[in-house]
């Protein structure tokens, strides 16, 4: 079966070795037989720069390279945890880096691909934080800090983020419908695929008298999650083994 695969929010972490193993299996048993794989952000729990050692993920790097070596394109769109992924990682694995709003033509249909965090515009505190961390000068300075310092900062930010999330309502952390509609209009599409919210679902609505669809990818905390797109269907799937 010809299929194009989409994943997001895998959150690879050496402390969650079962998920690392499951994702590696997914790459070598499923993605390697697909037409293309799109990774829509937060592949890693955190990424502090391409120059840092990630020995715990070497099998994953090798597995991705096994897929791209078969001339199967693997596309990577940055998430809020791994926005510092850059060209060294792309060269090592063979992935192709995408912009934060990318329109792909999949089996003749134009589909907008995003991580999803920029759609959560009700979360003003997060959007302000994101603006700071995506400032090119701030990133330039951060990437020149010692790796050990960056590791410490990443751990601190993760703890701060967890505390902030615990204090927010679910609605604030979800996407804003107006922002979704504006993104579709801006990119002249009627279909959007994104992750980030960890709320897998298919949302259908009407915009400017056109039928629209928003597909939310699931996370990989409890099990694997993938969207399979073929020429005639879109299927959200979950699995615990391959």
**Amino acid 35: pLDDT:** 97
> What does the alpha-carbon distance between residue 125 and residue 130 come to, in Å, rounded to a whole number?
9
Looking up residue 155, the CATH number of its domain turns out to be 3.60.21.10
| Statement: residue 162 has pLDDT above 80 | no
Number of domains in the chain: 1
- Mean pLDDT for the chain overall: 94
Dump pLDDT digits (tens) for 62-108.
999 999 999 999 999 999 999 999 999 999 999 999 999 999 999 99
Domain limits for position 120: 4-239
Distance CA 98, CA 206 (A): 28
Reported as a single tens digit per residue, the pLDDT across 37-64 is: 999 999 999 999 999 999 999 999 999 9
Which residues make Cβ contacts (< 8 Å) with residue 110, sequence separation at least 6? Answer: 103, 104, 188, 189, 190, 191
Round to whole Å and give the CA distance between 105 and 89.
25
- 8 Å CB contact between 168 and 123: yes
Q: Which of 57, 123, 33, 46 is nearest to 85 (CA)?
A: 46
Place of tokens 């880096």: 97
Q: Tell me, what's the pLDDT at 235?
A: 96
**Model-level pTM?**
0.94
Q: Give the pairing type, strands 102-106 and 109-113.
A: antiparallel
| pLDDT over 70 at 167, yes or no | no
Q: Residue 230 pLDDT more than 70?
A: yes
**Alpha carbon distance 176, 172 (integer Å):** 8
**What does each C-alpha distance from 71 to 26, 64, 65 come to in angstroms?**
17, 11, 10
Distance of alpha carbon 34 from alpha carbon 174, whole angstroms: 31
Q: If you average pLDDT over residues 119-142, what whole number do you get?
A: 95
């Amino acid at each position: 079966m010809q299929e194009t695969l989409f994943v997001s929010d895998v959150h690879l972490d050496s402390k969650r070795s079962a998920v690392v193993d499951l994702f590696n299996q997914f790459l070598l048993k499923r993605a390697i037989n697909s037409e293309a794989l799109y990774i829509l952000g937060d592949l890693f729990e955190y990424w502090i720069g391409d120059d840092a050692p990630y020995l715990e993920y070497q099998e994953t790097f090798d597995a991705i390279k096994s897929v791209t070596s078969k001339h199967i394109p693997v596309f990577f769109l940055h998430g809020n945890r791994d926005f510092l992924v850059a060209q060294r990682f792309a060269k090592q694995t063979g992935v192709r880096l995408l912009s934060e709003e990318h329109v792909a033509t999949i089996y003749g249909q134009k589909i907008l691909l995003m991580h999803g965090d920029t759609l959560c515009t009700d979360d003003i505190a997060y959007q302000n934080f994101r603006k700071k961390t995506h400032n090119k000068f701030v990133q330039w300075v951060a990437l020149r800090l010692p790796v050990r310092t960056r590791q410490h900062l990443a751990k601190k930010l993760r703890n701060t983020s967890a505390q902030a999330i615990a204090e927010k309502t679910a609605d604030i952390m979800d996407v804003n419908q107006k922002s979704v509609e504006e993104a579709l209009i801006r990119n002249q599409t009627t279909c959007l695929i994104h992750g980030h919210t960890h709320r897998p679902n298919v949302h259908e609505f009407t915009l400017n008298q056109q039928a629209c669809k928003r597909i939310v990818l699931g996370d990989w905390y409890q099990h694997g999650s993938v969207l399979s797109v073929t020429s005639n269907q879109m299927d959200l799937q979950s699995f615990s083994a391959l």
